[in-house]
Amino acid sequence: MSGLELENISMRFDLPNGSYVQALQDVSLKLEPGQLLSVLGPSGCGKSTLLNIVAGFLAPTGGRISLNGQAVRGPDAERGVVFQKGALFEWMNVRDNVSFGPRMAGQGAAQYGPKVDHLIDTVGLADFREKAIYELSGGMQQRVALARCLANDPDVILMDEPLGALDALTREKMQAMVLNLWKETGKTVILITHSVEEALLLGERLIVMAPRPGRIYREYQLPFADQGV
């Protein structure tokens, strides 16, 4: 069984006052390897909760999730995450940020060096390898976050509004980059976005979620993704 499979995923947050929030209710979803799924929906419909469950950061209170037939039990290198703000090491340079995962996995510089440099080139930061993160613009920081995610060679890339904090022009450039990387690498991608336009532009598939309780409201197959930005 290859791909990502969610079966009746539910998430209930119990609150200290005795009440609870049903953040997700019976979310089922099957993603084939290499698909790009956009997720749209109003604030509070459970998008981030869903992403955190797929990433393994949160254990669902109901249902099952598997990747390539293996149950997902916690975070690991198979699933990479890109957040709205990079969660980067601000005081470290671009190369050290991008190589962080491979280094933690015990690889030596000879092993990860060429791949890391290539990824930095791919996201257009060849001239900025030695720059510290805090010296870079927001768009550049998100490109570092993308490269850092790819350096771990995950099967699935999870993006939680990765372009949400950027200005319109930068966002447009980054959309093209995300689309190209997706086509080149053949990764499975889940992209959470607030932008209908972005969802239509990038997604092969689109789910629209609804709140209280968070669930899949509509699902679409999109014809646009192959036609470029």
Helix (H/G/I), strand (E/B), else coil: 141: helix
* Residue 117: CB minimum distance to ligand ADP, A: 18
Tell me the residue type at 52. Answer: N
Nearer to ligand ADP, 15 or 110 (CB): 15
* Residue 94: CB minimum distance to ligand ADP, A: 11
Half-sphere exposure (Cβ direction) of 179: Cα atoms closer than 13 Å: 19
Q: For every residue of 76-134, which 3-state class applies, written as one string?
A: CCCEEEECCCCCCCCCCEHHHHHCHHHHHCCCCHHHHHHHHHHHHHHCCCHHHCCCEHH
* Residue 77: CB minimum distance to ligand ADP, A: 24
Residue nearest to ligand ADP as judged by C-beta position = 139
Nearer to ligand ADP, 103 or 131 (CB): 131
* Residue 69: CB minimum distance to ligand ADP, A: 27
* Residue 190: CB minimum distance to ligand ADP, A: 13
Nearer to ligand ADP, 102 or 177 (CB): 177
* Residue 141: CB minimum distance to ligand ADP, A: 8
Q: Which of 30, 24, 29, 31 is nearest to 62 (CA)?
A: 24
Asked if residues 206 and 192 have their Cβ atoms less than 8 Å apart, the reply is no
The first and second tokens of residue 228, run together, are 């470029």
Nearer to ligand ADP, 118 or 212 (CB): 212
Nearer to ligand ADP, 46 or 102 (CB): 46
Binding site for ligand ADP (CB under 6 A): 13, 21, 23, 41, 43-49, 135-140, 167, 170, 173, 214
Residue with tokens 């997902």: 72
Nearer to ligand ADP, 10 or 35 (CB): 10
d(CA 14, CA 23): 10
